[in-house]
Structures are given as structure tokens and as C-alpha cells.
Amino acid sequence: MPVMNLIRGHWQLIAIVALVFLFWATPFVLPLKIMVVFLHELSHTIAIVLTGGSVESFTISPQQGGLVVGRGGNRFLSLSSGYLGSLALGMGLLIIALRTHWDRAVLGGFGGVMLLVTLLYVRKPFAMAFCAGVGAAMLATTWFFSRAPCDLVLRIIGLSSMIYVPYDIFDDTIRRSGIRSDAYMLAEEFGGTSMLWGGVWLVISFLLIFLCLKHFLGGNSNLRFDLKIR
């Protein structure tokens, strides 16, 4: 049966998604939510820098908030990049985990990026502790463990992004359309409404998730673990 084949071939991914949903409102999932917020703010940072601007500060909070202060750059792209950029980065991590053997190198690079962002832009205590601590933990994982645990970390972050981003778009731009979100500022500067931009981003996010699963999931995604420490 197709459903049974799907479960047998991807039971680990299904289990990760189920556990994230099960513990969604608990402190166990909070670090993953903050990680997706980091990806959101990192996407703003990348868009600002690539379009000729400069970043003055970068912060995230334990309340799952974040803020990047920048000068210059393309305002439309920098405002639009947060939700969809963090989703694209999360999906990229998942695709790398599913389809390549670059897991250790990518996880190490990700950790290095977190440490670099901390050094260049982060000044508030919680954000410094989170970014530096997680970045160092990622580098330690790549150094001490084999590929499979690194692959698992990328899968968990990627799947968490795919769960959190659509929910966050709906919550920030549609359910609470009056708050000062990226969509609110985009509507102020370029027209439309928060709900319009949020709706567009929500449709795009579901389309991207569908295409990612359709083209990269494959027939069997389950990992075989070798927990040998170097």
C-alpha cells in the first residue's frame, strides 16, 4: 500500500514532525523556534548586504522575536526576505541532509556563520549566548561525531523551519494583522495590506514546501546511525 510504503520509507522524518508538534508549546521545542527566528533575521541580513546595504545590529529574544537594524540596500527585498528566506534556508538544510554527504561540512559552516554573526553584529546578552553557544555546539558536533548525527541535526532544523514559518506568517500577518511585522512595514512603504502580503507569502511557502517534498524526499529517507566518536 502506498501509505504503508510512505511510512516505512520515511518513518524517521514523520517521527521528528510528530514530536515537534507534540511538544510545540513546551520548552523542548523553544530552541528550535528561536533557531528559525535566527534564520529569519539572517535572511534579512543577507538581503541587506547583498543589495548594497550595511547591518548595524542583529538580535533575537527568548520570546521568539528578532530585529535587524540596517542601512541602505533594497528595502523591498530586505523586508520580503525574512519569512521566505528562512524557509528557503531550512529547506536547503533538509535537502542537503537528504541528498548529499556534505552534512558535517555544512553543519560546521552553519556553526561558523552563527559565530561570525555574533562577532560582527550581536550585542545583547541572550542573543550572544544563544548564537555563540549553538554555533560552538554545531562545530563540536562536526568534530566529535560521524555524518549521521550531523545529518539528523540538519533534518531537525530544516523540518522545524518548514513547520514554523507558515504558522509564523499566518500568526504575524493574518491573525494579528495589526502588529508591526515585515508585512505591515511592506504595506506601509509599497502599498497593499499586511494580510495581502502575508497571504502571498503563505501561498508561496506552501508551494515551496510541496515542491521540496515532491522532488527531494525520494523513496527512503531513513538514516542508519553510526554513533562512533572520533
Q: Does residue 224 sit within a domain?
A: no
Q: What is the pLDDT of residues 208-227, one digit of tens each?
A: 999 999 999 888 899 886 65
Q: Which three cell numbers stand for residue 45?
A: 541580513
The string of DSSP letters for 48-110 reads HHHTT-EEEEEEE-TTS-EEEEEESS-HHHHHHHHHHHHHHHHHHHHHHHHH-S-HHHHHHHH
- Total domains present in the chain: 1
Measure the CA–CA gap between 149 and 103, rounded to whole angstroms: 9
In this prediction, residue 30 carries a pLDDT of 95
Q: Does residue 227 sit within a domain?
A: no
Measure the CA–CA gap between 135 and 5, rounded to whole angstroms: 37
In this prediction, residue 226 carries a pLDDT of 62
Q: Does residue 226 sit within a domain?
A: no
Amino acid at 50: L
Expressed as residue numbers, the domain containing 165 is 2-216
3-state DSSP assignment of residue 135:
helix
Q: Does residue 206 sit within a domain?
A: yes
Q: What is the pLDDT of residues 157-187, one digit of tens each?
A: 999 999 999 999 999 999 988 888 999 999 9
In this prediction, residue 157 carries a pLDDT of 97
DSSP 8-state assignment for residue 27: T
Percent of the chain with pLDDT over 90: 88
pLDDT at 230 over 70: no
Q: What is the pLDDT of residues 18-59, one digit of tens each?
A: 999 999 999 999 999 999 999 999 999 999 999 999 999 999
Q: CA-based angle 18:91:135, to the nearest 5?
A: 90
Q: What is the pLDDT of residues 117-155, one digit of tens each?
A: 999 999 999 999 999 999 999 999 999 999 999 999 999
Q: What is the pLDDT of residues 71-89, one digit of tens each?
A: 999 999 999 999 999 999 9
Q: Does residue 165 sit within a domain?
A: yes
Q: Which three cell numbers stand for residue 137?
A: 555546539
Q: Does residue 68 sit within a domain?
A: yes
Give the up-direction half-sphere exposure of residue 64: CA atoms within 13 A in the CB hemisphere: 14
H helix runs in the chain, sequence order: 2-22, 30-50, 75-99, 103-120, 125-144, 147-169, 182-190, 194-216
Q: Does residue 174 sit within a domain?
A: yes
